[in-house]
Structure 1
Amino acid sequence: MRGTTTCIISLTDEGARLARRLLALMPTAEHLHRPQDFSTTLQQRFVRGDRLFLICATGIAVRTLAPVLRNKHEDPPVLVADENGRWIIPLLSGHEGGANAWGNELANRLGAQLVYTTAQGYQRPYYSLGIGCDRGCPAELIESLVSDTLARHNIDLDSIDGIASIDLKADEVGLLAFCESRRLPLNHFGALELRSVESKLSERSEIVFREVGCYGVAEAAALLQASASTGNPAELVISKHKNRRATCALARSYRE
C-alpha cells in the first residue's frame, strides 16, 4: 500500500546539502541523514509505502531493496540521485507509482538531468489537464495558471488532448469558457471515481475531502482522463500547481 509520506535519505555531507535543497521544494518531507541502520531503515520505509528519494549509489539502493520488492502495483516510487544533484533516476514504480513524473518534476526544479530508461519511443502520448477551481472562478485566472504552469515545464498548451475536473464543476462558467477557448470538451468524474487513484496523488488534502468528498481534484481528474482515453496506466507529469482560486495538474498516458 503506497503512503503519502516522502522520505529523503542521504549518506554524505554533499548529499545532506542536496537534501536541504529538496526540503525547500518538499517541505513536508522527512530527511534522514546517515541513519544508524541504513538497510533496516530503508526497508521499513519502503514496506510501509513511503515515497523514497535516495541520495546514494544505485547499487546500494538495489541491493538493499531487493529483499522487500513486491510488484509495481504495490511498491512505492523510488528515486535515486547522485550527491551533487546532477542526475535523478526513477528506480522503481515509474509508471504505476508515479516515479517517472515525480522525478521529472524534481529534475526540472533542481536543474538536474532525468535518467529515463522506460522504452516508449514507439508510443503516442496523450496529455490530460486536470483542473479544480472555486465557484465563480473567472476563465482568465484559469488561463493564466495553466499557461504559467505549462511554460515552467516547457510544455506547449497546444499539446493538451483533454481537460477534466470533478462533476461538481460540469457547469462552471469560467472553466467551460477556458475549455471552449482551447476547443476541448470538459470531461468530469465523480468523487468516488477520483478517489480510485488517490494512491498516485502527490499529496492528499483533508480540506478538499471535506468540501467535495475526495482528496484532490486536479491530479486525480488528469490521471483518470488520461487513462480512460488510452486504456493504459497514466502518470503525473506535473503535480498540482495553484493560484488563489484554481489548481491544475498534467497527466500522461500512452496509446499503443
Structure 2
Amino acid sequence: MTDSRKPRRPITLISLTDPGRALVEKLLTFMPEAEHLDRPQPFQDTIRERFRSGHRLILLCAAGIVVRTLGSALSDKYNDPPVLVIDEHGRFVVPLLSGHEGGANEWARQVAERIGAQPVITGAQRYTRPLLVAGMGCNRGCPLDTLLALLDHTLSSHGLQRSDIHALASIELKQDEAGLHELATTLEVPIMFYPPAVLNEYSEMLSRKSEIVFRETGCYGVAEAAALAHADRLVKHDFHPELIIPKQKNADATLAVARIYQNT
C-alpha cells in the first residue's frame, strides 16, 4: 500500500498569559505532539524562527501582536505555514494566515469544535464538506445483519445516515470477513484494511487504549484507529482527522467514525 500523505508540519503553541497557558493544556490533550512555548524570549525572534522553519502556529494573544511579529517573515500563501490566533479565554479561533491553501480555515474549525469556541473565518469561503469513515471490528464470522444493526443504531443516535459514510476501514486480520465486504457492498462504499503498524500510528488519538486488543491484534484499538487511518489518507491536509464517534459496540462488532474535511 502506497502512502501518499505529505509530511505534516510540526505544531507550536505560544501562550503569553496564565489563562492562555491553561488553555494550551486543553489543546495539548488532542495535539500531544505539539511544542508549547510559554512567554518565549526573545519573543519576536523565537516566533519568526518557528514560522520560517515551517511550524504551524497557534498563538494565544492579540492578533495585532502576531501581525507585527510575522509581517517581515511572510513569503506567500502557498508556502507559509498556517497560523491561528485564539483569545486567552478560548472564545474565538481566527485563521490569520494561509487560510485556504495552507488549510488554516479547516484547522480553525477543528480546533474551535474541540474547545467549544467560535471559528472566525474572514476570507472568501469555499464549500467544504466532511468525509466520514466508519472503522469496523468484528468477531470471526460476524453476519451482515449484526454489522448493519450496530451501524444504523449508531448513526441514527448521532443524527447521521448511511449515505453520510464515505468509506469503511478495518484491520488486515479481517480482510477475509465476508460480513465486512457485504457491508461495503450494501453501503456502496469502498473498504480498506490496514496492518497493525499503521493503526498504531494513531494510538495516542484513541479514546481508550486496550492491552487486550493489543495482545490479540498487535494494535491498541481496531475501529477507532482504522477510521482515523483511512480518513487521514483521503485528502492531503496538514492537520489530523477527528474522531467524531468513539468506539461503539454490540455483542459481535465495534464501530467508530472519523471525519476529515474536503475542499470542493
Fold shared per TM-score above 0.5:
yes
Deviation of 1:180 after TM superposition, in Å, equals: 4.4
Deviation of 1:223 after TM superposition, in Å, equals: 6.1
- Residue 118 to residue 156, structure 1, CA distance change in 2 (3 Å): farther
Radius of gyration: which is bigger?
A: 2
- 8 Å contact kept, 2:171–2:226: no
Aligned to 1:102: 107
- 8 Å contact kept, 2:169–2:192: yes
- Within the alignment, does 1:253 sit opposite 2:262 as a pair? yes
Aligned to 1:160: 164
Aligned to 2:242: 239
CA distance in 2, matches of 1:171, 1:96: 40
Aligned to 1:197: none
- Within the alignment, does 1:27 sit opposite 2:35 as a pair? no
CA distance in 1, matches of 2:184, 2:36: 41
CA distance in 2, matches of 1:172, 1:58: 53
CA distance in 1, matches of 2:120, 2:85: 10
CA distance in 2, matches of 1:33, 1:145: 45
SS in 2 for 1:130: strand
Superposed CA deviations along residues 227-253 of structure 1, whole A, max 9, x for unmatched, are: 6xxxxx778795246649766432333
Superposed CA deviations along residues 72-126 of structure 1, whole A, max 9, x for unmatched, are: 44333221101111001122233444333332222122111111234236x4x54
- Residue 171 to residue 84, structure 1, CA distance change in 2 (3 Å): same
- Within the alignment, does 1:143 sit opposite 2:151 as a pair? yes
Query: How many pairs were matched up?
Result: 227
TM-score by length of 1: 0.64
CA RMSD of aligned residues (A): 4.4
- Within the alignment, does 1:185 sit opposite 2:189 as a pair? yes
TM-score by length of 2: 0.62
Which letter maps to 1:253? Q
- Residue 235 to residue 50, structure 1, CA distance change in 2 (3 Å): closer
Aligned to 1:58: 63
Matching residue within 80, 97, 115 for 1:75: 80
CA distance in 2, matches of 1:250, 1:97: 19
CA distance in 2, matches of 1:40, 1:145: 53
- Residue 142 to residue 58, structure 1, CA distance change in 2 (3 Å): farther
Which letter maps to 1:129? L
- Residue 145 to residue 118, structure 1, CA distance change in 2 (3 Å): farther
- Residue 188 to residue 86, structure 1, CA distance change in 2 (3 Å): same
Aligned to 2:54: 49
SS in 2 for 1:7: strand
User: More deviation in 80-89 or 12-21?
Assistant: 12-21
SS in 1 for 2:29: helix
Identity over aligned pairs, percent = 36
Which letter maps to 1:24? T
CA distance in 2, matches of 1:61, 1:133: 43
CA distance in 1, matches of 2:226, 2:183: 17
Structure 2: stretches of 5+ with no match in the other structure: 1-5, 206-217, 220-224, 249-253
Which letter maps to 1:143? L
- Residue 126 to residue 83, structure 1, CA distance change in 2 (3 Å): closer
Structure 1: stretches of 5+ with no match in the other structure: 195-200, 205-209, 228-232
- Residue 38 to residue 156, structure 1, CA distance change in 2 (3 Å): farther
- 8 Å contact kept, 1:126–1:161: no
Which letter maps to 2:90? G
- 8 Å contact kept, 2:243–2:256: yes
- 8 Å contact kept, 1:164–1:222: no
CA distance in 2, matches of 1:53, 1:144: 38
